[in-house]
Chains A and B, each alone.
Chain A
Amino acid sequence: MTDAVDMRVSIGALELKNPVLTASGTFGYGLEYDDFFDVAVLGGICTKGLSLEPRHGNAPARITETSGGMLNAIGLANVGVEAFCTDKLPKLRERGVTVVPNIFATSVEDFVSLAERLDGEEGVAALELNVSCPNVDHGGLEFGCDPVAAARVTAAVRAATRLPVWVKMSPEAGDLAGVARACESEGADALTAINTIRGLAIDIHSHRGKIANRTGGLSGPALKPIALRMVWELSRAVKIPIIGIGGVSTWQDAVEYLLAGASAVQVGTASFVDPRAAKHILDGLASYCSQRGTTPEQLTGAMI
């Protein structure tokens, strides 16, 4: 019986129903799924990256497919934190969804303002700091690649909210473990890893970049081995929980991430292929645990 398995996981002080979440920017605001499945069954959803003001995003083309993956440069188009709090969050709350707003800013002050705004809202489980967006001119990667800058953002947000703070790691940090330890020591409750890696695709007929921004973040199955390796390294570098992201498309992928040291996973690009992907992964993981008489918590870091 799958429902006999205890699927709950602890991310620091926060308990999640199960370890399957959805990744920021790949699941909208969680309200687009009514026709497909009940999003409240998931461990949680990370929203599209929210900024203080609404953003239109980059000019098209914004996405292109590559071998076993895709590049995107959306440019953090989003409704803004205010519209999120008034239009989206109440509905998510009503449905019992575990909500993790993903926040993005170009300055420490703005990160703090975002955290303060969301701190006052009911129904927010944690905050995910996007210090690793590769697709905007300022702010993103600069914080995520430099341990000092990452620590500054973490400390400031930590002081501004009572909510758990998750910091999303950039795979482009030369010293990933250094950034991770800096965030941990400034009070991050968990690390989520990884964001996309910048890639490039060129149209050989027009000789132009396939996306208008030229470079875009690589996501999907092509990213998985790299992301899995980074999750494994991170889990050895810090004591706080790691949430694994990168190409999780099947329940088997989720098991691998847990074994590598993740306490939970986020499903990203797979939701484009099938909007029910996260639910299928959760169901598959539950029956795997049931069959092996284990739990997600026991699988975490169990790689031999």
Chain B
Amino acid sequence: MGLTWRPDRAYLTGLAVAGTRKPVSTRAMHTLPLAQRDDLGNGYYVLWFDSPAPVAASAGQFTMVRSAEWGVAPLLPRPMSLLSGGSRPSMLIKVVGEGTRRMAEDPMGQPYNLLAPLGHAWTPLPEGHRPVLVAGGVGVAPLVYLAEELSAAPDALAPISLYGGRTTRDLPLAERLEACGELAVTTEDGSRGRAGRVTLLLDELLAKAAGSGDKLAVYTCGPHGMMRAVAERAEAAGVWCRASLEAPMGCGYGVCLGCPVAKRDGSYFYTCVDGPCVDAKQVDWTKEVF
């Protein structure tokens, strides 16, 4: 495998990254012109906005976004993970329907409304743990943001990223993960990296860590089924694991109650306010979301 994980590296111990979860910041509606759009191929785009009032976000937080010029259809804003915040907020989108199609086609300069930052960011890396980021397709966005936050932190431990996509064209922003640490990829058709699912790499990594006694902290975002598989493996190995949940969303700020994800205790997470980043052990992964 392309993974060169060496548990004996000095930087594997004694690191606590403070500041990956900044104090709760004020949510606000930012009306911003679409400033730049990078076409990453295969329906993936990165949208950039210029924000005079910085969006005080942390990795894992999201935004509810729609153009101010869409009229009444598509009606509801779309939840999108933030790929960056500050004065240059950005997001990675995958075209799957009408809203994302417009995001891919609207002209530069068109005003967009971004309600941001929303939800809980990723929990800070527990002390002495090595971050392992497990991404599936477009779920990579909040993990790229996290990887970049971790590498900007003074004593940061470089993350190991495990990234799975259907084909080599479904691994957007892989190079940004690679720039922050180690990267190993899988594709279902074998067109890049190992053939198969990303959990293959995770299994190997967990086995190594069990042997060496190293402590891992897993962060995952991707399709429900993938996150379920990741969460189950982490739990079986007794490894700390956080997941960024997905659910249909009406409002993004806790009033419509449209975004439940089942918890093991029989109640629900409301993804927009209790998540999207949650302790994977608390999720009832057997229940459907859509």
Stretch of B40-48, B69-77, B165-173, B188-196 at the chain-chain interface: B69-77
User: How far apart sit A65 and B66, CA to CA, in the bound complex (Å)?
Assistant: 14
B113 within 8 A of A: yes
Of B85-93, B126-134, B199-207, B251-259, the segment with at least 4 beta carbons within 8 Å of chain A is B251-259
Distance (whole angstroms) from the CB of A29 to the closest CB of chain B: 8
Pair A59/B287 contact, Cβ less than 8 Å: yes
| CB < 8 Å neighbour of A35 from B26, B75, B266 | B26
Known: A60-B247, A60-B289, A63-B250. A273 touches B76 (CB 8 A): yes
B76–A61 CB distance below 8 A: no
Cross-chain contact B75 with A65 (CB below 8 angstroms): yes
| Cβ contact within 8 Å between A27 and B247 | no
In contact, A67 and B73 (Cβ under 8 angstroms): yes
Binds B, one of A68-76, A126-134, A293-301: A68-76
Given A56-B268, A67-B73, A70-B250, also A28-B255 (CB < 8 A): yes
Bound CA span A274–B288, Å: 28
CB 8 Å contact bits of B3-37 with A (1 = contact, 0 = none): 00000000000000000000000111100000000
- Bound CA–CA A276/B266 (angstroms): 33
By a beta-carbon cutoff of 8 Å, the part of chain B in contact with chain A is 26-29, 66, 72-77, 113, 115, 247-248, 250-251, 253-262, 266-268, 287-290
**A61/B256 contact (C-beta < 8 A), A221-B72, A273-B66, A273-B76 known:** no
CA–CA, A222 and B71, complex, Å? 12
B74 neighbours in A (Cβ, 8 Å): 65
List 5 tightest A-B contacts by C-beta distance, closest first: A63-B258, A28-B255, A272-B251, A221-B72, A35-B27
- Interface of B, helix, strand, loop or mixed by DSSP: loop
Contact check, A61 vs B290: say whether CB atoms are below 8 A apart. yes
Residue of A nearest to B31 (CB): A274
Contacts A59-B287, A272-B250, A274-B113 hold; do A26 and B75 have CB atoms under 8 A apart?
A: no
CA distance A272 to B66 in the complex (A): 12
Nearest B-chain residue to A74, judged by Cβ: B257
Bound-complex Cα distance A61 to B246 (A): 11
7 additional contacts, CB 8 Å, given A32-B255, A57-B268?
A27-B255, A28-B255, A60-B248, A62-B248, A68-B72, A269-B75, A276-B29
Q: From residue 251 to 277 of chain A, which have CB atoms closer than 8 A to chain B?
A: 269, 271-276
- Across the interface, do A60 and B251 meet the contact criterion of CB distance under 8 Å? no
- A289 CA to B255 CA in the complex, in Å? 31
> Is A26 in contact with B268, judged by CB distance below 8 angstroms?
no
CB neighbours (8 Å) of B256 from chain A are 25-26, 63, 72, 74, 272
What is the CA–CA distance of A267 and B278 in the complex, to the nearest angstrom? 32
A221 to B257, CA, bound (A): 20
Does A61 contact B251, Cβ atoms closer than 8 Å? no
CB of A220 within 8 Å of the partner chain: yes
Q: Are A65 and B258 in contact (CB under 8 A)?
A: no
| B113 CB contacts on chain A under 8 angstroms | 274
A206's nearest neighbour on chain B, judged by CB, is B290
Question: With A220-B72, A221-B72 given, is the CB distance from A274 to B29 under 8 Å?
Answer: yes
B254 to chain A, nearest CB (A): 5
**Closest CB-CB distance, A212 to chain B, in whole Å?**
8
